[in-house]
Chain A
Amino acid sequence: MKHLSLLKFMVIGALSCGIISCQQKKPGTVTEEGFPREKTLYLAGFQWGDPNTFNPLSDWPAFPVGGKYNLMYEPLVVFNSITGKIEGLLADSPERTDSTISVKMNPMARWSDGKPLTSADVKFTFEIGKRFKGAPTAYVWDFISDITVDTVVDSSASGEMKLEKIVFFINKKERNNPLVVMDILQNIRIVPRHSIEALLAEAGGELAELQKLKFDKDPVVSGPYNLLRYSNEKIVLKRRDDYWGCMALYNNRLPQPVYIIHPIYKSNDHFSIALQQGNLDISATFIPRIWLKAKEGVATWYKKEPFFIPATIPMLQINTTRYPLSDRNVRRAMAYAINYKDIRELAVSGYSPPILSGLILPFGVEADYCNAEDIQKYGVSYDPEKARAIMKEAGYTSVFDADGKLNHVKNAKGEKVPTMSVKSPAGWSDWESMVQIAVKGMRAAGIDVREGFVDASLYWSCMPVGDFDLLMQKPVPEVTPSKPWSRFDAVMSSRNWKPEGEKMNENQGRYNNPSSKDYNPEVDNLLKRIPTLTDNEEKIKAYRQLNIIFMQDMPALPLAYLPEQFYEFSTRNWINFPTEENSYAPPQCLCYGAGTKALWEIKSVAAE
């Protein structure tokens, strides 16, 4: 009978829970076929779906080709979020003038087939974007107008050396934004001209044809690892023992892991379990209550709160074109109604320091621009009474049921105000909890908002067209030299303002409609001006101004500070990961940005 099968289901469920919890207690190393555990590093959290292509010129290549991974293809420079400095890689650190940014190529850089990596490859990589609108580098030409190559002579102690100097001209006519050009230098990974040009010719000069190639058979790369094999379960990289950087950057030392394996997991808790079991060495996913996992050898940057270095701001983006969210008072009331302390302590496991109002992080490189006085004066904090007062003052009446639950809200005309909902991807547990707490607070303050957890695919498709009331979002998560300007730009820029239904890549809340009577041109002026400023005082002034506008208008509701990426490691098989005390590299996964250098420093437990 039916009830019996359901009973079985329950029993099986209970048993499997028990089995999982038993497994977690069992220490030990699991060796995969042919990959000695002491020479293999397992890292995960970047590839979620099946790997399709490793073509560096395609739109969404798989790990470690897309994104800011430096294992196979490398950028000119990398940004160290700990020091705030730009560090050299294929080139040395950039020099900036009013109209140009220039770098000198590292003469020792080589491709895996032994050919030198030169300015010709760099120019080729960038200029593909000029030739083809569909190329990943196409966007850079909004920001740079030209690339030239000079030869300079470097006279250091070891003697004279001819170096190539690449000069990027800032596109003054278009965007005039040196900050983004700086970002571009570390965002664009250089591809081998000699091999790709040949392939492009074979493809009849069509980029679309070239993009169909998978580049998964011994591709020509410059990085320390190359693709060995891949499946729907994992991607395996093997160390290149002839990597040019070993000699040029690391005193003739090899990276420690011979293999890097990225297993593909489907759900957040799998990462946590794998880390605790020692089947995974590094993860970039949210793991709640990491201190409870310390006994299983799982740790992160800090040993105590906030555990991670805050770098990004998850927030509720508000569709300011929809009533009643178009009312600034409602937005401000919402901001007052959210219990930020609960979010910090409950939703994100205390990984966030106490949040201050505004869009500027009060830490690290951004701390200079954050002004306590302004925040005191214009900022918001958790104050439900104030929230209620604002609503009342703005003419809204909240109607509560007998049991104290909010029923609906009426406006000054006595009309029922529509119920708003918060779109957030279902299953992202930290975000879900943040939304739950925010909604709870807003409802208690008499604002009619509900949770609306949706499938992730629906979430992504609703975001650019503005199909939401409120949307859980984390704009520009990467740590780049352009912060916090890029964050303001992402939330407030009306440069490409379009009505709801059409795509916008930034300001999806449609704040500050240029054609409305309330348009504040100052916002766009400031956003345009800040990147060109070189004087620090000027910059501080401009940022303060922008942040005050944000705090007054509240086009979005920042909820917490979270790291650029979650960075958790297990010390069961590898040790000497970068931490607060041992900060030789930033808290980034060992494939990412400036974090890659830790590959040379970690040590295998078995080898010790």
Chain B
Amino acid sequence: MTTSRQLTRPKALAGLGLVGFVLLLGLVGPLLAPYGPLEQIEGANLVGPSPSHWLGTDEVNRDVLSRTLSGIRLDLLVVFVAVPVGAAIGVLTGLLTAWWNVADVLTQRIFDVVLAFPTLIFAIALSAFIGPGVWTIAIVIVALEIPVFGRLVRTSVRTVREMPYVEAAQVAGAGPLWVLRRHVLPNSLEPLTVQLAVSMSVAVFIEAAMSFLGIGVQAPNPSLGSLIKDGTTLMYDAPFLALGPLALVLVLVLGLLLISQSLSEAHRD
């Protein structure tokens, strides 16, 4: 209820608009794309932006606009699937361990250890383990979000369980499941949504950084990160290559940031 109200603030609306724009492009864009994302067009080697190729063509003669539109989908997958999956697992573990003290200390230590690795180093190590690729990105993000959300939920469980209304329910005879479902989860929702938006923007970064380091999406498939990387390796010869995908990353991250900021501002007020 309050969340939906917060989302109607102008700042949140702007954020939603930006994210929605990228979402729409990712869903509808590939249908409108002039070429296939992998299609190599004869003779169109590294052509600058022109009416026939709005964002130019790349080193192996592919239309960058078409690739960009198709590449958005992968980021959307990472943002709207991997993050929520990790978040869901994290929330569940957080609830279980914090409320029933099931292996609470052990879980916290594991979370500590996972969070102790800098994200990218963790990603590099993991990619050595399972090889580079889309799955690696997804697994890295899921593995990272589990402790992030697990901790968040743990903190909020500990806060909410001290609240008088929870005590009142407990005194009236409510069991733990009842309290979790009726009180703890609904009242943890606000910090969770803020974190969700933050995590989503971080996920875009992770995808881009991993692809930039060559351990993310692999050729010939496009993602925003791999397109930026392709563009930056030819920065002097074809500065136009990275512009489109870079702008989209900015728009996406900016949108998610605005949403999370307005959510947390509303939360604070």
Do A and B make up one complex?
no
CB within 8 Å of B: which residues of A?
none
